[in-house]
Structure 1
Amino acid sequence: MPDRIALRGLRARGYHGVFDHERRDGQDFVIDVVLAVDTRAAARDDDLTQTVHYGELADRLVHVVQGEPVNLVETLADRLAAVCLAEPRVAEVEVTVHKPHAPIPHPFDDVTVTILRRRHEQLG
């Protein structure tokens, strides 16, 4: 079982959604990623280059959220997963996209979409 590196609560403003006002006004999204990574070499050598630099990964994830709008949170989650799997040491990623200000006319706490992607699925 690989080790896990988690980045939770990453916030960025995006313009995703199916409604005109979502594309025009934007809203905040919250991103959680859990990466499956073998961290033994990094731990043994105390070497950042042998693991995932989560600060740099956070920059790339925010860039996706702030980037080209999509209609569905599912599409956004898939794009974020692809960014994570571009890291050569990541074997698997779980991505959760929170849309806490989704246009729902009832009281609610959060809307989330969670996906799981594996490296071998990306290559096939």
Structure 2
Amino acid sequence: MVRALKVEASIGFYDHEHGRLQPLSVDVELDLGDSPVERLADTLDYDGVARIVRELAAGPHIALIETFAERTAVACLADPRVLGVIVRVEKPGAIPDAAAAACEVAYSR
């Protein structure tokens, strides 16, 4: 699991959100099945998961955090070892008096 990965992305639906970076906090939980894990080759490289999130954040503007979460999940599922994925995206400061706006998506094969 990658927890609370901090990135900045061009994200948001409203006009005032275009053309500027905003902070996101991203959690990615992977289901790799019940196979024994004894070597690094038996599991997934968490740096690779973080790279997926960072590359998406560095890409073109995305209107919704739901889209960001979905694209992250689909990219993780491109690895055949991943049987399921849960992605949670938080956008701190998006709602007055709330810690964050957030969404969570779950996909499985």
TM-score when normalising by structure 2: 0.90
Aligned counterparts, 1:1-124, within 5 A: 6-38=1-33, 40-43=35-38, 47-102=39-94, 104=95, 106-119=96-109
1:92, distance to aligned residue in structure 2 (A)? 0.4
Q: 1:57 & 1:34 partners in 2: Cα distance?
A: 10
Cα separation, 2, equivalents of 1:22 and 1:94 = 26
Contact preservation (8 Å) 1:61, 1:83: no
Percent identity, aligned pairs only, is: 32
Alpha-carbon distance in 2 for matches of 1:80, 1:56: 12
TM-score normalised over the length of structure 1? 0.80
Residue 17 of structure 1: CA displacement? 0.6
Deviation of residue 90 (structure 1)?
Answer: 0.7
The alpha carbon displacement at 1:39 in A equals 5.9
Per-residue deviation at 1:11? 1.0
Q: Which residue of 2 aligns with 1:3?
A: none
Gaps of 5+ in 2: none
| Structure label with greater radius of gyration | 1
CA contact (8 A) 1:27 1:101 kept: no
Aligned partner of 1:122 in structure 2 is: none
**Matches of 2:57 and 2:93, distance apart in 1:** 15
**Structure 1: segments with no counterpart, 5+ residues:** 1-5, 120-124
Question: What letter matches 1:94 in structure 2?
Answer: I
For these two proteins, the number of residue pairs brought into alignment is: 109
Describe the superposition over 1:64-102 as per-residue Cα deviations: whole angstroms up to 9, x where unpaired.
122121111111110000111112211000100000121
CA RMSD of aligned residues (A): 1.4
